[in-house]
Amino acid sequence: MIIVRSVKWLNFCSVKSTTFVSKTAIVTFKDITLPEIDETLKRASDAFFSFKNLSLAARRDILHSIATGLEAHADDLVATAASETHLGNDRLKGELGRTCFQLRSYADAAAAGHHLEPRIDHAMPDRKPAPRADIRKVMVPLGPVVVFGSSNFPFAYSTAGGDTACALAAGCPVIVKAHPAHAGTSEKVANIVLATPGLPRGAFAHVHGMAFEVGKALVTHPLVKAVGFTGSTSGGRALFDWAASRPDPIPVFSEMGSINPVFLLPERLAVAALDVATQYAASITLGVGQFCTNPGLLVGIRGSGLDAFQSALSAQMAKVPAAPMLHPGIARAYADRRQTALSQSGVDTLASGEGTEGVPTLARTKATEFLSNPVLHAEVFGPYSLLVECSDAKEMLKVALHLEGQLTSTLIATENEFQSNGELVEIIQQRCGRFVWNGVPTGVEVVAAMQHGGPYPATTDSRFTSVGEDGIRRFMRPLCYQNVPDAMLPDALKESNPLGIWRLVDGEWLR
Amino acid sequence: MIIVRSVKWLNFCSVKSTTFVSKTAIVTFKDITLPEIDETLKRASDAFFSFKNLSLAARRDILHSIATGLEAHADDLVATAASETHLGNDRLKGELGRTCFQLRSYADAAAAGHHLEPRIDHAMPDRKPAPRADIRKVMVPLGPVVVFGSSNFPFAYSTAGGDTACALAAGCPVIVKAHPAHAGTSEKVANIVLATPGLPRGAFAHVHGMAFEVGKALVTHPLVKAVGFTGSTSGGRALFDWAASRPDPIPVFSEMGSINPVFLLPERLAVAALDVATQYAASITLGVGQFCTNPGLLVGIRGSGLDAFQSALSAQMAKVPAAPMLHPGIARAYADRRQTALSQSGVDTLASGEGTEGVPTLARTKATEFLSNPVLHAEVFGPYSLLVECSDAKEMLKVALHLEGQLTSTLIATENEFQSNGELVEIIQQRCGRFVWNGVPTGVEVVAAMQHGGPYPATTDSRFTSVGEDGIRRFMRPLCYQNVPDAMLPDALKESNPLGIWRLVDGEWLR
């Protein structure tokens, strides 16, 4: 794959043409210009008024229609994505299925109205010394949202992916910037979205841009009210910094890196070393390791259980064939970072598959090395994991204390070990968004209780999730109504509850 | 009042001494040093482990005890605050009462557990192609929070005020930086908090600082996880910028400026001009106008109703005596900003009380002037309001469109006018956190449905409130538990619901 670029960003308004030659397909597209960005945002802002006031049912129908549209074009979409990326047909079909499931799941959540979080405190006309007015509150959409397509999920976290679905469910117009690595797929998905019945003109837009200035111009445009991103730490942080330096800062939801530590305790390994190794060989190499929840760090305590686990894991990982990665940029980055990690002092290679791209790799080091070398804390995005050997439980605590924020942390332990390692559990829970017991972190369920997000640098805002219906909240803010007559209240707050949704009324949840 | 300062900040660790001579009292205190900040944060961080794990009932009791302690020392606290500020005894007594009400209200909210927002999605062991694990989520505290005492509320938004109460209710240790204008009051309140039974050592700390470097060192300290602030736009933005530029950015809740526009429609003025004028004369001059919800902008349409309203309002405001403001800094700023506003081209003075400090003032200008002169959009913190005369409803729409983010917006209108001015209502609601119909924006109720916060520059984060129990959420993030045995789940998530709190279980709110 060759990338041909001829991009120049002159005064933010020249016309640029970028040709991105992917695996087999050649897709040529033009970077959007500054005047075009301005025009796109004005249209989105105009569309906001009608889009935000659609009924919950209308919004649900739009999201369902997008899912139906994607399914109707599944063969073409999968073929296009397969021509642009190295993801196989099965993975792409599965991902498209997940994307449709997400769309429908957020559609139904939006119709159920949980994201509106209505609160009603009735008036107290007889209160002394002064009466209390009727006060009600409901979540309202923020306004136009820019979504950056991710490279590793051409469907599920791109054009009609999770961020787009959440923002549309919230009532926000969406401007998607296509990821250049699958711009043709993105364009096709966008056309399906644009053809959705009931979607107001301007409520969805699709733009291209290789130049970083396109991203900057989008994030700093005055009419943009929030940003969604899944990708690298450097990319996500750049968007955050641009947004924070605006005259009016806006929220940025960057889901960035995570090494998803797994803590393996001896009692559990004594009885289940082989089973755990089998689970982890699959989890580490799933999708050539290209998941943000890939377990990149395994922390154990020296002993026979850990020995059995590491030999079984090494043996199994060595059997997993190397495989092409998403695109050459990712393959190169993996090769470089893997090489950097393996060449650190005190690191040895337990397993390394044959091949040149996406080589499954298990490395090992001592806790003392890990604690003193920040290079070993960095994410190596791909089918790679580092096993850190601790001399005892105390050293394992130290390793936990030195970890950065994570999307997930996993504890492999018996119930007895779980109970008797309270401090370790506290420390690892404090550093992650999702805590898993005796399982693998890969596989993120789309449910209300999901938290996909964690303390920095896992994300730029640990208070929100990018998976599950609470992800809709990212693009909303509360609006309070004081002393407003029933007829003029939004349906969600009307006394008779015409939408039949759950509401916190004078301290009780009622429907 | 004279401010004597001899502050030098050498290498962040010299010892400084600041004497702040307030109205009648002389309070001398030392700026905290960098090593002391570090020590304070380490203690807070250590205390976090035990404090976050207190039962809901224990946390409720601590907040109730603080309220009881404040009440037991009410006379001394009010006398101290009266000696440091120009707020009268009645106002201070009232504010102390509100502070205790807030503490108890957040105490009871914390005990009720709404802020935990528990979500439970049960396992689906038979799901195809793969089973679904049990997934649960609950809000957990962020960690140590720095609260900056405000100048205009020595009790309600300072040492044991709303931000502190919310953070403690969330389970976060709090470090209060006293406002220098009432450092003695702050110290006394802090001692009461520190003596609270059940509060772990280190979970609350009180520090002084005149130098801005103290604020910067607190906000950028690695162990600080969030910041609460009420005050000026420049101050609030500086804290936000420091926090955003950290290696790991943290949330800052700065509640800053707002001119709280009031839109007056003719039908309503035709029948109620005098009543509305009486309400507004009181609201504009309440507490010498030193409330963040003070109505600083009145927008009307030229005609007999508006004429009647403005003569009545002018007459009543001219009768309100000028009064000393909180402290000399605020008095000076009010005099300067008032003068600047009144000297703008096309602005005339409708009412101006006698006196030299805190002079009640009503100014008037035409919409064309307002639209073309950003100086007139700036907050004049004090008993000041600007009446903007529009030639028609269309011009009023334009004024609304040109407004920045606001804490509140008010519509004075008949129900008929409310219904027939949909576009105006949309526009003003989009720019505020709380929308009031036929009332005044001053007087912020502490209820679940309250939203005290609005689009920038009203606050740095419109998605959160600083008044009402949802304010507790500012200092929390979700933590998800996957496949965790019941015995090891936090009580809020245990299957039997031992806390008896409301939870979203498989899509239904249950208790």
Both A71 and A119 in one domain: the answer is: yes
Decide if A445 is inside a domain. no
Q: Mark whether A234 and A292 lie in a shared domain.
A: no
Residue A252 shares a structural domain with residue A269? no
Average of pLDDT values for A154-167? 97
DSSP notation for A386-435: EEEEESSHHHHHHHHHT---EEEEEEE--HHHHHH-HHHHHHHHHTEEEE
Question: How much of chain A exceeds pLDDT 90, in percent?
Answer: 88
Name which of B430, B484, B509 is nearest A435 (Cβ-Cβ).
B484
Q: Which residues contact B77 (CB under 8 A, 6 or more apart)?
A: B70, B92, B96, B155, B185, B188, B189
pLDDT of residue B16: 39
Mean pLDDT score of chain A: 93
- Residue A1, pLDDT score: 27
* Averaged pLDDT for residues A166-175: 98
Q: Which of residues 76-95 of B touch A (CB under 8 A)?
A: none
Task: Please identify every residue of A annotated as catalytic.
Answer: 255, 292
CATH of the domain at A352: 3.40.309.10
pLDDT surpassing 70 at residue B251: yes
Interface touch A483/B405, C-beta < 8 Å? no
- Closest chain A CA to residue B460: A249
Co-location of B222 and B345 in the same domain: no
Q: Tell me if chain B has a CB within 8 Å of the CB of A422.
A: no
Contact: A461, B488; criterion CB under 8 Å: no
pLDDT for residue A11: 28
Examine the domain organization and report whether B291 and B400 are in the same domain: yes
* Tens digit of each residue's pLDDT (9 = 90 or more) over B382-425: 999 999 999 999 999 999 999 999 999 999 999 999 999 999 99
Of B119, B439, B462, the CB nearest to A133: B439
| Pair (A192, A286) in one structural domain | no
Q: What is the pLDDT of residue B15?
A: 32
- Quickly state the pLDDT bin for A257 (edges 50, 70, 90): confident
CB contacts < 8 A, A to B, total 192
* Judgement on whether residues A189 and A117 belong to the same structural domain of the protein: yes
The answer to whether residue A55 is domain-embedded is: yes
Q: Specify the amino acid at residue A359.
A: V
Last residue of a domain, one of B437, B454, B485: B437
Q: Is B292 one of the annotated active-site residues of the chain?
A: yes
pLDDT for residue A15 is more than 60: no
pLDDT at B404: 95
Instruction: To the nearest 10°, report the CA torsion of B438, B439, B441, B442.
Output: 170
Chain-centre distance for alpha carbon B170? 17
B-chain residues within 8 Å CB-CB of A505?
A: none
Distance CA A215, CA A209 (A): 7
Per-residue model confidence (pLDDT) at position A326: 85
Same domain assignment for residues A170 and A41: yes
How far apart, in Å, do the first and last CA atoms of chain A sit? Answer: 56
Looking at residue A22, its pLDDT comes to 53
Indicate the pLDDT class of residue A295, thresholds 50, 70 and 90.
very high
What is d(CA B468, CA B108) in angstroms, rounded to the nearest whole number?
Answer: 12
**pLDDT > 90? residue A242:** yes
pLDDT for A327: 84
Task: Tell the residue number behind the tokens 């302690």, with chain if given.
Answer: B69
Residue B143 carries which side chain, given as an amino acid letter? G
Q: Among residues 220-249 of chain A, which lie with CB inside 8 Å of chain B?
A: 240-241, 244-245, 248-249
Report residue B7's pLDDT band, with 50, 70 and 90 as the boundaries.
very low
> pLDDT tens for residues A356-412?
899 999 999 999 999 999 999 999 999 999 999 999 999 999 999 999 999 999 999
**Mean pLDDT confidence for A425-436:** 97
Please check whether residue A489 lies inside any domain of the structure.
no
If asked whether residues B234 and B272 sit together in one domain, one would say no
| pLDDT tens digit sequence for A16-63 | 444 454 555 556 789 999 999 999 999 999 999 999 999 999 999 999
Tens of pLDDT along A206-232? 999 988 899 999 999 999 999 999 999
The CA distance from B435 to B449, in Å, is 12
Domain-embedded: residue A420: yes
A279 occurs within a structural domain: yes
> What span, in angstroms and rounded, lies between the C-alpha atoms of A287 and A410?
20
Close Cβ partners of B208 (under 8 Å, ≥ 6 residues apart)? B18, B29, B30, B31, B32, B177, B178, B180, B183, B214
Residue B476 phi/psi, 5° resolution?
Answer: -135, 160
Rounded Cα–Cα distance for residues B100 and B447 (Å): 14
- DSSP conformation class of A76: H
- B424-454 pLDDT tens trace: 999 999 999 999 999 999 999 999 999 999 9
Distance separating alpha carbons of residues B166 and B110, to the nearest angstrom: 9
Per-residue pLDDT at A9:
27
Cα–Cα distance measured from residue A22 to residue B217, given in angstroms and rounded to the nearest whole number = 49
> Which residues from chain B sit within 8 angstroms of residue A426, using beta carbons?
49
Angstrom distance (rounded) from CA A63 to CA A101: 10
Residue A306 sits in the same domain as residue A352: yes
Residue B354's pLDDT is 78
End-to-end CA distance of chain B: 56
Nearest Cα neighbor of B357 from B380, B379, B327 is B327
Q: Is residue B220 part of a domain?
A: yes
CA distance B98 to chain A (A): 13
- Would residue A454 count as lying in a domain? no
Domain that holds residue A323: 261-437
Mean pLDDT lowest among A123-127, A499-503, B128-132: B128-132
Please check whether residue A455 lies inside any domain of the structure: no
| B453 contacts on A by Cβ (under 8 Å) | 478
Same domain, A381 and A334: yes
Question: In terms of domains, do B239 and B185 share one?
Answer: yes
- Give the number of other Cβ atoms within 10 Å of residue A338's Cβ: 21
Q: What is the CATH number of the domain that holds A194?
A: 3.40.605.10
Q: What is the ipTM of this complex?
A: 0.94
The residues, ordered by sequence, that sit 6+ positions from A314 with a Cβ below 8 Å of its Cβ are A350, A351, A362
Total domains in chain B come to 2
* Token digits of residue B263: 């839109």
